[in-house]
Amino acid sequence: MAANYARQLVLDKNGSPYQTGTPAASAISRYVTENGTASSVLTLTQDTTAIEVATGGTAAVIRWVATSDTQASVVAIAGATANFDHEIPANAWRRFVVPVEQFVQQTSLVGANRLNGLYQRVAIKSQGVGSVLVSEFQ
């Protein structure tokens, strides 16, 4: 089992976790698709332990992509082909802690993503013509 690898929530002035706040950190990588409709696959940095996904005028879906997955796209249509993990409503944002794909014992210096066996790729797709923005955090 992996250690506690995600950054803790920031605390408000009373010491309570600030649930709806953004992290007290700068993004380490950013991705923007404007007016896109196709599925895109992002390779996360070796330090990424959380992502934030924001949408424009349409909803979007994401899927955590295993390193062994050769198809690597996300599908969100009715029927047996749908394979998305999460949906982000239109004009909204959500943060996700990158889940563990598999535990791998590392013997060299690597970032927290690789060290904890986290998913290294995520597929994103807007549900219609719209913008999707993704930020990666350590």
- What does CATH list as the number for 29-137? 2.60.120
3-state secondary structure of 136: strand
- What does DSSP assign to residue 19? T
How many residues appear in the chain?
Answer: 138
4-56 per-position pLDDT tens digit: 777 777 788 888 887 776 767 889 999 998 888 888 999 999 999 999 999 99
The token pair that represents 138 in the structure block: 């350590």
Helices within the chain (DSSP H only): 112-115
* Token representation of residue 44: 């996360």
The pLDDT tens digits for 49-107 are 999 999 999 999 999 999 899 878 898 887 778 899 999 999 999 999 999 998 766 66
Does residue 2 register a pLDDT over 70? no
